[in-house]
Structure 1
Amino acid sequence: MDLGLRDRVAIVAASSQGIGKAVAWGLAREGVKLALCARTESVLLTTAEEIRRETGTELMARVVDVTVPEQVHWFVGETARRFGRLDICVANAGGPPSKSFADTSIEDWHRAAELNLMSTVYLARETLPLMQARRWGRFIAITSVAVKQPLEGLILSNSIRCGVSGLVKTLAAEYGACNVLVNNVCPGFTATDRLIGLAKSLAAQKGVTPEQIEETWVSQAPLRRVGHPEELANVVVFLASERSSYVTGVSLAVDGGITKGLY
């Protein structure tokens, strides 16, 4: 299937590793020109060089903290100047720490809101007008299956990420007439460094091993395994494509069947 993505221009946030990196790879293989950003320069530049060398796609990579609106403004402007357009934005950021409510400070709540909600707002404010002007666009937020089914030990993610789902639904309604599609992809337990860290954190809290935590996660999924970043990326690439032309305002779980709700 031709996804109609060749020569489109995409921003992928937090794209130096994990899910963001897999999304960048997936888009590059479809001929998308990329603007990558992350906070750690050495890892980001290594990823950018790997993608450039293997796919030949045109890309730029910049160190950006997406919780700082001025940096997001500069990065989106730099992308538009470099490529002359912007078609796709994948709003992605790391997850907040695993804590109980009693152990979560006010500062933790503020940091989680900046990281997972406000970073999406900042990216949307800068990118959606550019897509609106061209009457074509794809804005895709990466959140968590926690927006559909709260996960144990993740009160910050369970709470803050639901705000992103509400934002996505509202933006889809506001920008749909301009042929700008806004969707939310919700990964389940996916094999990344973040998941390894989460397993260690939960294991320490419960007095068990990380392997036992992972076994619990696997047992919850009908597919009896955790997901691979590339499997999540495949869904994002489809939603970024011409083939997703009648899909907007959805929060799509890519979780191996963990979510038990009907919707």
Structure 2
Amino acid sequence: MDLGLAGKTALVLGAGGGLGGAIARTLAREGAMVAAADIDAAAAGRTAEAIAGAGGKAIALGWDLGDLSLIEPSIARIEAELGPVDVLVNNTGGPPPTPASGQSPELWSKHFQSMVLSVFVLTDRVLPGMRQRKWGRIITSTSSGVVAPIPNLGVSNALRLTLVGWSKTLAREVGRDGITANIVLPGRIGTPRITFLDEQRAKREGREVAEIAADSQSSIPVGRYGDPQEYADVVAFLASVPASYVTGSVIRIDGGLIQSI
């Protein structure tokens, strides 16, 4: 299937990580020019180098989403070097494991700015161009915690759910402009983030990490953690021309993990 992404410009946040990196490389293979952004500039650089090594076009940006002042110069650079953003993949880092109660206002504020407010402001920056061109894709990666809250991820569950309400509202506002807005949520995908969470749980419970991982995988109907490529393939489809009638949706890429309908 031709996804129609050749010549499009895609901005992928968190492109130095497992999920973001897979998404960036997959969009590039489909012909998109990719701006790979990450708070870890070296990691973003490795993703951009991998894309270039495979014959694609990419630039790397070191980008701390908690600093809203970086949005304008970063987008200006992308526009100058690749062109206006057609596909925006909002993929932000997660907060540390915490209960929902007892967290300081400073912690809530810090992660709201980096995980939520930055997404709002960045999307508003690229939307006018998408509207003018009558085409755009806004894909926001959240967490299975927005459907079934994950124990000891209280801050993550609360803040990521905000993005779901925002994306659904936005989809209704921009649909007639040829722009789609969708949420994708991973189950347990085999990334460093999942390894970190397994390690943290093992410490809390005094168990081996391998035992925690085995228990976790046994609760997934397909019996394993997902591959980042499996996640990236779904994102690439949502970014495509053939997906023009999919908007306002929450797409689960979870191996059947979430039990609710």
TM-score range relative to shorter protein:
over 0.9
> Is the aligned partner of 1:88 residue 2:92?
no
Instruction: Please give the per-residue CA displacement for 1:20-43, whole angstroms capped at 9, x wherever unaligned.
Output: 000001001101001111122222
d(CA) in 2 for partners of 1:101 and 1:184? 23
- 3-state DSSP class of the match of 1:244? coil
1:73 CA displacement? 1.8
- For 1:48, the aligned partner's letter is A
Give the structure 2 partner of residue 8 of structure 1: 8
Per-residue CA deviation, residues 209-235 of structure 1 (Å, 9 max, x unaligned), is 222221222122110111111110000
Query: 1:1-263 residue pairs with structure 2 within 5 A?
Result: 1-54=1-54, 56-102=55-101, 104-262=103-261
Q: Describe the SS at the equivalent of 2:34.
A: strand
Contact 1:128 / 1:139 at 8 angstroms: preserved in 2? no
1:93 Cα offset (Å):
1.2
Give CA-to-partner distance per residue, 1:77-126, whole Å, 9 cap, x none: 22122223221000111111112234533322222212221121122111
Partner Cα distance (2:208, 2:100) in 1: 22
Looking at structure 2, the residues matched to 100 and 86 of structure 1 have their Cα atoms a distance apart, in angstroms, of 37
Query: Is the 1:27–1:237 Cα contact (8 Å) retained in structure 2?
Result: yes
Distance in 1, matches of 2:248 and 2:225, equals: 26
Kept after mapping to 2: 8 A contact 1:66/1:122? no
Residues in 1 aligned to 2:189 and 2:57: alpha-carbon distance in whole angstroms: 28
TM (norm. structure 2) is 0.96
Q: What letter corresponds to residue 11 of structure 1 in structure 2?
A: L
Superposed CA RMSD: 1.3
CA distance in structure 2 between the partners assigned to 1:215 and 1:110 by the alignment: 35
Q: What is the alpha-carbon distance in structure 2 between the residues aligned to residue 138 and residue 164 of structure 1?
A: 16
Letter in 2 for 1:43: A
Contact 1:10 1:34 in 2 (8 A): yes
> Partner letter of residue 126 of structure 2?
T
Runs of 4 or more, structure 1, over 4 Å off, are: none
Q: 1:164 to 1:97 in 2, by over 3 A?
A: same
- The 1-side partners of 2:102 and 2:209 are apart by 21
Inter-partner Cα distance in structure 2 for 1:222 and 1:7: 38
Equivalent position SS for 1:252: strand
Q: How many residues align?
A: 261
Greater shift in the superposed pair: 115-124 or 185-194: 115-124
**Alpha-carbon distance in 2 for matches of 1:176, 1:254:** 24
Give me the whole-angstrom Cα distance separating, in 1, the residues matched to 2:252 and 2:182.
11
SS of residue paired to 1:139: strand
3-state SS of the aligned residue for 1:241? coil
- Which runs of no fewer than 5 residues in structure 2 stay unpaired? none
Q: Secondary structure at the match of 1:242?
A: coil
